[in-house]
Amino acid sequence: MIATERACIFTLGGILDDAQFERLASEADVAFRDFVTESGMIEFSMPALTIQAQKSAR
């Protein structure tokens, strides 16, 4: 997720410099430590809300 953010200028990629991204990656290692599986992957639930809209015909 952090690597993806770095590439996107519309989110963190547009406001953080290289040093800040390195700090973010380092802190993420600590923050996600409890979510690392035996295979080394990070696994956690991340609820999402999806919305569907349709333009009404008048």
**Confidence check: pLDDT of 58 > 90:** no
Quick one: pLDDT at residue 39?
95
In a domain, residue 11? The reply is yes
Q: Which of 1-5, 12-16, 29-33, 50-54 has the lowest mean pLDDT?
A: 1-5
Q: Which domain holds residue 14?
A: 2-33
In a domain, residue 42? The reply is no
In a domain, residue 21? The reply is yes
Domain count, the chain: 1
Quick one: pLDDT at residue 17?
85
Quick one: pLDDT at residue 13?
74
pLDDT more than 90, % of the chain? 38
pLDDT tens digits for 14-40? 788 889 888 988 998 899 899 999 998
* CA–CA dist 20, 54 (Å, integer): 41
In a domain, residue 54? The reply is no
